[in-house]
């Protein structure tokens, strides 16, 4: 019992060593460990022991099996000495027998060495192939990894884009739903009643002279305020108040756009359009009233100056009284105070509405927290987190407002400094105005002195110029009349001379290599297209027509054209001669037969020859095809056998499997007999060669 167990352990150790070292077994997969000896014991039990003993003792290398394609035990690992007995009475001495044994042993060793060398070469070749395959696999794995990384990056980018698109669509849905709710609520409010506000009278109102304030709808009020804000921004931008404040311009634009979007979101298109129409009409009428109230003549008359003898001008217009200026300043300050009060009330109303919305949001959050959290501790933490988030949002909003207010104050400071600089510049100009006025008055006095007798001098110069013109023209009057009479009718005579002249004859071309001009009509390119040249050279034109010379070619090419026509005529003549010879030849051989009949007879002879060749070659081809099919069937069975041997090299090495009615031992015996006969024949040939 112990011996059987020891044999099983030895067989498991041999099988483990054979699989790992000889066959180079490597488990596939990541994280799979190498099998140990204990795992090989399970397959070395029962009838499998004989099979594994035979496999471990006869199969040596998978690469050798693939190359040899047979039983590796037949390679001559076992050295046997054979004593050859000849039928003759000649005996070998012991020394010759020793030499023969040594020779056989050395031949066996040489065979073993050659076999080992071939095994080593095969192993090296296999190692190189494995290295190449490993390198190729590594390159493919690297490329696949790079592709996977690129795909992963693209997928991540696509996922991020999809998330952004999803968030965008969610935001769109939220805005659309809020817009639908707002439109629905607005429609309900519009069906109930409209809100009216008081405003100043305009020139379009029928009772614009009344003391009672006019009324306007809430939509008209919002549209008018938005238009005023846009107009104020454009006026400020036109005056150059935002020269160095690009961020302020952008922030102001965003505020204006938010106001416009609020108006468009709150009211319908029809209401907004009607309000814009009314506001535009009122603005146009107010602009018309302002322009009609401007009277430049009256303003110019109010500017009264007194001219004194020394050349000074004194302003006699009465300035506004001090009391009137004070009243005007008080009215402006009261108006600003009222506007600030209105803005304060408006902001207080907005603050109250925002507080109400904040309380509603907090109540909704509280209800949602009570639904989601059952434990008291979690609910407290969630409430605390929500309070902190609300406080943080409030601080951020306050920070944004403070930043906006800071920017607004900076703009006011810049504007105040600019206004201060303008006032200082105006004050300086006022201080310098007297000096400029004195210079201008001195210049006016000089001009008045110079132009005191300008009219009399101008009349005197005009008379002198007229007298000079009369004296210059009287001396040439007779000569001019005679020249005019001589030139009378010259144009008609010159035109009569040119009537009979051909105009193309007057066209000349200047050559670069010649100082003389050449008539265009005499140029070769113009002799076949110009009607005048054709009419003057009718004979040349007739020659061109007979030769079918193209009109777009120059006459210098007439020789080459004639040579081409001559060559064509020669070719046609040669073809006609060849045709006549063929007709004469076939007519002489066939008597009175026609060429068509000769061709028909020739076709019949060719078809008869083809039929005879087919009758002769078809049986041979059929025989060759049958032999080829048999060879292909044998090759397919051989290929299948080779494929089976490649897949399972040792499948035919077990003792009980028969191949062609013989088992492994019988094939070995036949092999030994054949090798013995071959060796005897080799020895006989060697002895005969020595003798």
| Each residue's pLDDT tens digit, 397-406 | 888 888 888 8
**pLDDT more than 90, % of the chain:** 0
- What is the rounded CA–CA span in Å between residue 102 and residue 81? 10
φ, ψ of residue 637 in degrees (nearest 5): -65, -40
Last residue of a domain, one of 423, 449, 475: 449
pLDDT-derived band at 593, boundaries 50, 70, 90: low
More confidently predicted of 212 and 430:
430
- What is the rounded CA–CA span in Å between residue 665 and residue 656? 10
Supply the DSSP symbol for 29: S
pLDDT of residue 40 exceeding 50, the answer is yes
Q: Which residues pair with 313 in a beta bridge?
A: 307
pLDDT score for 501? 65
CB 253 within 8 A of CB 237: no
Q: State whether 508 and 565 are in the same domain.
A: yes
Residue 280 in any domain: the answer is no
The closest of 314, 316, 312 to 302, measured between CA atoms, is 316
Q: State whether 402 and 309 are in the same domain.
A: yes
pLDDT-derived band at 309, boundaries 50, 70, 90: low
- Say which residues have a Cβ less than 8 Å from residue 497's Cβ, sequence separation at least 6: none
pLDDT-derived band at 517, boundaries 50, 70, 90: confident
DSSP-assigned states of every residue in 524-590: GGGTTT-HHHHHHTHHHHHHHHHTT--TTS-GGGHHHHHHHHHHHHHHHHHHHHHHHHHHHHHHHHS
pLDDT of residue 85 exceeding 80, the answer is no
- What is the rounded CA–CA span in Å between residue 453 and residue 465? 19
- What is the rounded CA–CA span in Å between residue 660 and residue 662? 6
DSSP-assigned states of every residue in 69-80: -S-GGGG--S--
- Say which residues have a Cβ less than 8 Å from residue 504's Cβ, sequence separation at least 6: 520, 521, 530, 532, 533
Lowest mean pLDDT among 54-63, 230-239, 485-494: 54-63
- Average pLDDT, rounded, for the chain: 75
Q: State whether 308 and 419 are in the same domain.
A: yes
256-260: Cβ within 8 A, 24+ apart: 256/226, 256/229, 256/230, 259/226, 259/229, 260/226
- What is the rounded CA–CA span in Å between residue 219 and residue 270? 11
CB 44 within 8 A of CB 8: yes
pLDDT score for 88? 43
pLDDT-derived band at 71, boundaries 50, 70, 90: very low
CB 432 within 8 A of CB 302: no
Q: Which range among 470-484, 494-508, 609-623 has the greatest average pLDDT?
A: 609-623
pLDDT-derived band at 209, boundaries 50, 70, 90: very low
Lowest mean pLDDT among 374-378, 427-431, 437-441, 644-648: 644-648
- What is the rounded CA–CA span in Å between residue 386 and residue 388? 5
Angle at 128 between CA 123 and CA 129, to 5 degrees: 95
What are the structure tokens assigned to 602, written together? 């020739």
Residue 283 in any domain: the answer is no
pLDDT score for 64? 47
Q: Is the sign of the CA dihedral 53, 56, 59, 63 positive or negative?
A: positive
277-286 average pLDDT score? 85
- What is the rounded CA–CA span in Å between residue 656 and residue 668? 14
Q: Are strands 196-199 and 214-217 parallel, antiparallel or unpaired?
A: antiparallel
CB 58 within 8 A of CB 71: yes
Q: Which residues pair with 314 in a beta bridge?
A: 306
pLDDT score for 504? 64
- What is the rounded CA–CA span in Å between residue 664 and residue 653? 7
pLDDT tens for 175-201 read 888 878 877 776 666 555 566 666 665
The closest of 20, 2, 9 to 42, measured between CA atoms, is 9
φ, ψ of residue 648 in degrees (nearest 5): -130, 90
CA distance from start to end of the chain: 64
Q: State whether 550 and 677 are in the same domain.
A: no
The closest of 238, 237, 236, 241 to 422, measured between CA atoms, is 241
381-410 average pLDDT score? 84
pLDDT score for 28? 66
pLDDT score for 282? 85
648-666 average pLDDT score? 67
pLDDT score for 304? 55
Residue 225 in any domain: the answer is no
CB-count exposure of residue 149 (10 Å: 0-12, 13-18, 19+): exposed
For tokens 């079918």, the residue is 548
φ, ψ of residue 619 in degrees (nearest 5): -60, -40
pLDDT score for 78? 44
pLDDT of residue 344 exceeding 80, the answer is yes
Count the Cβ atoms, other than its own, within 10 Å of residue 421: 10
Query: Residue 353 is part of which domain span?
Result: 303-314+341-449
CB 664 within 8 A of CB 655: yes
Q: State whether 525 and 551 are in the same domain.
A: yes
Number of domains in the chain: 4
pLDDT score for 613? 86
Ramachandran sector of residue 29 (left: φ over 0; alpha: ψ -120 to 50; beta: rest): left
30-48 average pLDDT score? 74
Residue 146 in any domain: the answer is no
Q: State whether 567 and 613 are in the same domain.
A: no
Q: Is the sign of the CA dihedral 223, 224, 226, 231 positive or negative?
A: positive
pLDDT of residue 683 exceeding 50, the answer is yes
pTM of the model: 0.28
Lowest mean pLDDT among 52-56, 354-358, 459-463, 498-502: 498-502
**pLDDT more than 70, % of the chain:** 72
Residue 50 in any domain: the answer is no
pLDDT score for 61? 60
Angle at 262 between CA 335 and CA 238, to 5 degrees: 55
- What is the rounded CA–CA span in Å between residue 318 and residue 504? 89
pLDDT score for 73? 46
585-607 average pLDDT score? 71
- What is the rounded CA–CA span in Å between residue 211 and residue 303? 35
- What is the rounded CA–CA span in Å between residue 676 and residue 670? 10
Q: Are strands 508-510 and 517-519 parallel, antiparallel or unpaired?
A: antiparallel
Last residue of a domain, one of 429, 449, 469: 449
Q: State whether 384 and 514 are in the same domain.
A: no
CB 15 within 8 A of CB 56: yes
- What is the rounded CA–CA span in Å between residue 134 and residue 513? 79
Residue 604 in any domain: the answer is yes
Q: Which residues pair with 197 in a beta bridge?
A: 216
230-243 average pLDDT score? 77
Residue 352 in any domain: the answer is yes
Q: State whether 308 and 442 are in the same domain.
A: yes
- Say which residues have a Cβ less than 8 Å from residue 39's Cβ, sequence separation at least 6: none
pLDDT of residue 622 exceeding 50, the answer is yes
Angle at 182 between CA 181 and CA 184, to 5 degrees: 65
pLDDT score for 68? 42
Q: State whether 524 and 570 are in the same domain.
A: yes
- What is the rounded CA–CA span in Å between residue 490 and residue 478? 20
Q: Which range among 120-129, 460-469, 493-502, 526-535 has the greatest average pLDDT?
A: 120-129
Residue 109 in any domain: the answer is no
Q: State whether 309 and 436 are in the same domain.
A: yes
Q: State whether 531 and 568 are in the same domain.
A: yes
Q: State whether 438 and 365 are in the same domain.
A: yes
272-294 average pLDDT score? 82
pLDDT-derived band at 245, boundaries 50, 70, 90: low
CB 524 within 8 A of CB 556: yes
The closest of 65, 57, 47 to 17, measured between CA atoms, is 57
- What is the rounded CA–CA span in Å between residue 41 and residue 19? 13
More confidently predicted of 645 and 291:
291
């Amino acid at each position: 019992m112990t011996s059987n167990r020891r044999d099983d352990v030895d067989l498991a150790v041999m099988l483990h060593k054979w699989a790992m070292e000889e066959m180079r077994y490597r488990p596939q997969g990541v994280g799979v460990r190498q099998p140990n000896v204990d795992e090989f014991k399970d397959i070395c039990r029962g009838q499998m022991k004989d099979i594994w003993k035979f496999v471990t003792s006869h199969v040596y290398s998978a690469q050798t099996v693939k190359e040899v394609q047979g039983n590796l035990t037949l390679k001559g690992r076992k050295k046997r000495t054979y004593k050859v007995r000849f039928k003759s009475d000649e005996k070998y001495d012991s020394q010759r027998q020793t030499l023969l044994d040594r020779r056989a042993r050395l031949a066996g060793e040489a065979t073993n060495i050659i076999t080992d060398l071939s095994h080593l070469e095969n192993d090296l070749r296999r190692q190189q192939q494995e290295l190449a395959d490993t390198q190729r696999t590594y390159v493919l794995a690297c490329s696949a990894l790079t592709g996977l990384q690129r795909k992963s990056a693209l997928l991540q980018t696509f996922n991020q884009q999809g998330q952004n698109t999803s968030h965008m669509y969610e935001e769109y849905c939220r805005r659309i739903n809020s817009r639908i709710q707002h439109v629905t609520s607005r429609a309900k409010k519009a069906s109930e009643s409209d809100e009216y506000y008081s405003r100043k009278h305009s020139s379009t109102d029928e009772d614009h002279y009344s003391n009672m304030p006019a009324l306007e709808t809430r939509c008209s009020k919002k549209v008018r305020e938005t238009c005023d804000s846009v107009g104020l921004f454009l006026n400020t931008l036109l005056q150059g108040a935002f020269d160095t404040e690009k961020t302020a311009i952008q922030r102001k634009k965003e505020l204006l756009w938010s106001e416009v979007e609020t108006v468009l979101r709150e009211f319908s298109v029809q209401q907004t359009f009607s309000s814009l129409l009314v506001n535009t009409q009122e603005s146009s009428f107010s602009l018309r009233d302002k322009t009609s109230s401007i009277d430049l003549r009256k303003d110019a008359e109010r500017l009264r100056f007194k001219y004194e003898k020394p050349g000074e001008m004194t302003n006699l217009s009465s300035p506004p009284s001090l009391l009137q200026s004070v009243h005007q300043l008080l009215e402006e300050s009261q108006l600003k105070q009222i506007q600030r009060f209105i803005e304060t009330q408006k902001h207080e109303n907005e603050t109250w509405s925002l507080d109400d919305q904040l309380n509603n949001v907090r109540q909704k959050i509280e209800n949602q927290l009570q639904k989601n959290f059952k434990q008291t501790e979690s609910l407290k933490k969630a409430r605390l987190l929500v309070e902190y988030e609300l406080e943080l949002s409030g601080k951020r909003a306050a920070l944004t407002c403070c930043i906006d207010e800071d920017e607004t104050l900076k703009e006011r400071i810049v504007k105040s400094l600019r206004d201060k600089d303008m006032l200082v510049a105006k004050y300086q100009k006022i201080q310098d105005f007297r000096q400029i006025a004195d210079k201008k008055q001195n210049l006016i006095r000089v001009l008045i002195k110079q132009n005191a007798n300008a009219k009399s001098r101008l009349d005197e110069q005009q008379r002198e110029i007229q007298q000079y013109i009369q004296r210059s023209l009287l001396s040439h009057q007779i000569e001019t009349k005679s020249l005019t009479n001589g030139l009378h009718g010259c144009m008609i005579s010159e035109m009569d001379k040119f009537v009979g002249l051909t105009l193309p004859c007057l066209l000349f071309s200047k050559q670069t290599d010649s100082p003389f001009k050449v008539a265009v009509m005499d140029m070769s390119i113009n002799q076949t297209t110009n009607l005048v040249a054709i009419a003057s050279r009718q004979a040349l034109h007739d020659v061109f027509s007979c030769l079918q010379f193209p009109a777009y070619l120059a006459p210098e090419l007439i020789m080459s054209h004639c040579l081409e026509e001559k060559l064509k005529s020669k070719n046609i003549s040669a073809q006609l001669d060849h045709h006549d010879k063929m007709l004469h030849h076939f007519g002489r051989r066939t008597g009175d037969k026609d060429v068509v009949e000769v061709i028909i007879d020739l076709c019949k002879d060719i078809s008869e020859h083809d039929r005879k060749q087919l009758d002769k070659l078809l049986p041979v081809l059929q025989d060759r095809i049958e032999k080829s099919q048999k060879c292909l069937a044998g090759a397919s069975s051989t290929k299948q056998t080779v494929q089976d041997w490649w897949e399972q090299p040792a499948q035919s090495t077990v003792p009980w499997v028969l191949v062609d009615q013989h088992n492994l031992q019988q094939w070995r015996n036949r092999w030994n007999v054949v090798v013995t006969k071959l060796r005897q024949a080799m020895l006989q040939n060697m002895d005969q060669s020595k003798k």
